[in-house]
């Protein structure tokens, strides 16, 4: 995830025309916008990944495989971000670019849902410290992300700026606290808790 975030900024190329540098820099606004949206969404993926594996006590081959596919999708994001920025800069292919960008995140959301469903099925792989209410909170949040991002991608087919706005609106929503989602700190035997 750190590599994908780093690669995002490499997709923003310095202007070739420096005679009107301020104008040339301003013309790169689609790259800045795509960078910020994707960076923040990858940040959410990173946080969700921590939450997911804070509640999974052990993994099996299915979880390992699905997590590998998840990382593969994350590696695609700099490309999808570059396509999105280029389409808005050129004014062509915006619908396709929004759908590509949104679908990349939707597929990740799908993988989070499948991994979580697999891990919580019969509570085989999840920790005993999470109760049914906590499991339900995480399940709803992962499902809500799946629907939200799909809605943004589909709206992008009709009106690309609206699709981008809906996808971007998930960023502030995601950071709202949901009780039961974060694992409780367990005291370490014979010692203090880590800060």
Residue pLDDT, tens place only, 97-148:
999 999 999 999 999 999 999 999 888 888 888 888 889 989 999 999 999 9
Structure tokens at 118: 């697999």
How does residue 93 score in pLDDT terms, banded at 50, 70 and 90? very high
- Nearest CA to 77 out of 164, 149, 5 is that of 5
Main-chain phi, psi angles of 18, to 5 degrees = -95, 0
- Its pTM surpasses 0.75: yes
Residue 22 lies in a domain: no
CB atoms near residue 184 (< 10 Å): 10
Residue 54 lies in a domain: no
Residue 185 lies in a domain: no
Residue 193 lies in a domain: no
Residue-number span of the structural domain to which 164 is assigned: 2-7+30-47+59-174
Express each pLDDT in 58-75 by its tens digit.
999 999 999 999 999 999
What is the Cα gyration radius of the chain? 19
Number of compact structural domains in the chain: 1
- Nearest CA to 56 out of 116, 113, 112 is that of 116
């Amino acid at each position: 995830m750190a590599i994908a975030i780093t690669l995002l900024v490499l997709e923003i190329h310095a202007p070739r025309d420096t005679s009107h540098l301020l104008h040339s820099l301003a013309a790169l606004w689609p790259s800045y916008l795509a960078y910020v949206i994707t960076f923040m969404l990858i940040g959410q993926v990173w946080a969700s990944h921590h939450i997911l594996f804070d509640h999974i006590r052990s993994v099996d081959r299915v979880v390992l495989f699905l997590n590998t596919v998840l990382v593969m999708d994350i590696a695609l994001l700099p490309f999808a971000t570059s396509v999105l920025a280029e389409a808005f800069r050129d004014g062509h292919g915006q619908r396709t670019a929004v759908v590509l960008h949104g679908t990349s995140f939707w597929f990740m959301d799908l993988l989070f849902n499948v991994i979580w469903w697999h891990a919580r099925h019969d509570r085989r792989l999840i920790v005993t410290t999470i109760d049914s209410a906590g499991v339900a909170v995480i399940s709803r949040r992962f499902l809500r992300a799946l629907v939200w991002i799909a809605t943004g991608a589909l709206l992008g087919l009709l009106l690309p700026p609206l699709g981008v706005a809906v996808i971007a609106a998930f960023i502030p929503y995601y950071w709202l606290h949901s009780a039961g989602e974060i694992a409780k700190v367990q005291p370490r035997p014979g010692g203090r808790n880590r800060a």
